[in-house]
Amino acid sequence: MATLKAVRGTRDLLPPETALWNYVEATARGVFARYGFGEIRTPIFEDTALFARGVGEETDIVSKEMYTWQDRTRADSDSAQSLTLRPENTAGVVRAYIEHKLADTGMLQKLFYIGPQFRRERPQRGRYRQFWQIGAEVLGPAWSGADSALRDAEVLEMLSTFLNELGVKGWKLEVNSVGSSTDRPKYIAALREALAPVKDKMSADNQRRAETNPLRVLDSKDAGDQEIIDGLPKIADFLDDASKEHFAQVLAALDACGVAYTVNPRLVRGLDYYTRTTFEFTVPDGSGLGTQNALLGGGRYDGLSELLGGPKAPGIGFAIGEDRLILTLQAQEAGAKEQKLDAFVAPMGVERNAAALALAQELRRAGLSVEVGDGSFRLKKSFEAADKLARRMVIVGEDEVSSGILTVKDFSAGDQTKVPRAELADFLRA
């Protein structure tokens, strides 16, 4: 019979690698807590209309990449509801903001999430069909200060702190402003006009984008098209005074906090909801990601809540590609090193198993991490297993049980010590 495998674009995460995932998530939780964020958990599937309206029908995500199915409400019913595995979490968070009337608190909401997202993309290193995001959204009524440039800078400063705390090397922050929801259509019209006479010289992909979503042309990495793209109108020339002022305030606050950035006038990002500030953090080539070097991205949005039937709630948010962050940490050999257990308890003979388990229980209660072998193992096998898993091995033989003096082998020092049972936990902790 053919063996079953994980579906293409999905993967299993196993120990010891999951220790690195936990370390990254614990660091995120720690950093976000210092900035006043609380956790939100929204469902993994939602009404398809949420993403169609929220993320935008014309985006790659909605038009090509969603996992959508017709879900019959009852087995005996013909009425079906279209459901979708979430391709991102901003739309879900804003839906929850509206559904739970968080606007009524009058307070700025600072919410973070950690969880899987689903997109039917062509799988490659750093790009999966089920991938993890660590993200956050800061939103609220305008009077809560949600549209202040200070929030944009605070989020960016928090992200730089997070990456530095993890020890990510060589990250770069690129920022841009895509203007207000009235600036954007003017810019898109100018782009269409500028693309019309030159688009025939561009790649097939860009010819299509020039028609359907001209902003996406700016994202193109197509080498042959770069000269044309560099000559296209810049969004900066289409910003109204309020958007220009907002962007200037964001940059001034980043300067005040000492966060390094470059302004990339081509950074528009692929989701429809962005207004004003957009940003991406990338890592240098050779950081384990191949061409997928965008570690995280995000931006400001105004109008998303109204699109979903809610009150005005400007916001800013980001999502970190956790898979990509982990690949980077592994390539850069940063982050938590693999931890060995404090002790491996090795019973000598099956009749010592119960005593060994009781000793492990005692040590675990004292806060130590402990694995227990099996009395059926030969001494050599116990040694090998213990050496792989733990810093020290505690031998439980007949003498040890009767005398209460245990033999402890230390693998790094290569020596053996006799330790009274009452002192064992302290000895192993040292």
Binding site for ligand HAM (CB under 6 A): 88, 90, 119, 121, 127-128, 131, 133, 135, 137, 271, 294-299, 317-319, 321, 323-324
User: To the nearest whole angstrom, how small is the minimum distance from the Cβ of residue 89 to ligand HAM?
Assistant: 6
User: To the nearest whole angstrom, how small is the minimum distance from the Cβ of residue 429 to ligand HAM?
Assistant: 40
CB of 151 or CB of 199, closer to ligand HAM: 151
User: To the nearest whole angstrom, how small is the minimum distance from the Cβ of residue 129 to ligand HAM?
Assistant: 7
Residue 144 is encoded by which pair of tokens? Answer: 């809560």
User: To the nearest whole angstrom, how small is the minimum distance from the Cβ of residue 399 to ligand HAM?
Assistant: 56
CA 281 → CA 134, 257, 296, 430, distances in Å?
Answer: 14, 17, 5, 41
CB of 229 or CB of 268, closer to ligand HAM: 268
Q: How far apart are CA 113 and CA 39, in angstroms?
A: 6
Tokens 């950690």, residue located: 114
Name the residue with the smallest CB distance to ligand HAM: 321
User: To the nearest whole angstrom, how small is the minimum distance from the Cβ of residue 123 to ligand HAM?
Assistant: 8
CB of 141 or CB of 299, closer to ligand HAM: 299
CB of 116 or CB of 145, closer to ligand HAM: 116
CB of 137 or CB of 225, closer to ligand HAM: 137
**How many residues in total does the chain contain?**
430
CB of 324 or CB of 391, closer to ligand HAM: 324
CB of 125 or CB of 201, closer to ligand HAM: 125
User: To the nearest whole angstrom, how small is the minimum distance from the Cβ of residue 196 to ligand HAM?
Assistant: 29
Q: Who contacts 8 (Cβ-Cβ below 8 Å, separation ≥6)?
A: 123, 129
User: To the nearest whole angstrom, how small is the minimum distance from the Cβ of residue 84 to ligand HAM?
Assistant: 14
Strands 45-47 vs 80-85: parallel, antiparallel or unpaired:
antiparallel
CB of 27 or CB of 90, closer to ligand HAM: 90
User: To the nearest whole angstrom, how small is the minimum distance from the Cβ of residue 144 to ligand HAM?
Assistant: 17
Q: How far apart are CA 137 and CA 334, in angstroms?
A: 27
CB of 65 or CB of 374, closer to ligand HAM: 65
CB 138 within 8 A of CB 146: yes
CB of 127 or CB of 392, closer to ligand HAM: 127
User: To the nearest whole angstrom, how small is the minimum distance from the Cβ of residue 87 to ligand HAM?
Assistant: 8
User: To the nearest whole angstrom, how small is the minimum distance from the Cβ of residue 335 to ligand HAM?
Assistant: 17
User: To the nearest whole angstrom, how small is the minimum distance from the Cβ of residue 130 to ligand HAM?
Assistant: 8
Q: How far apart are CA 21 and CA 37, in angstroms?
A: 20
CB of 37 or CB of 377, closer to ligand HAM: 37
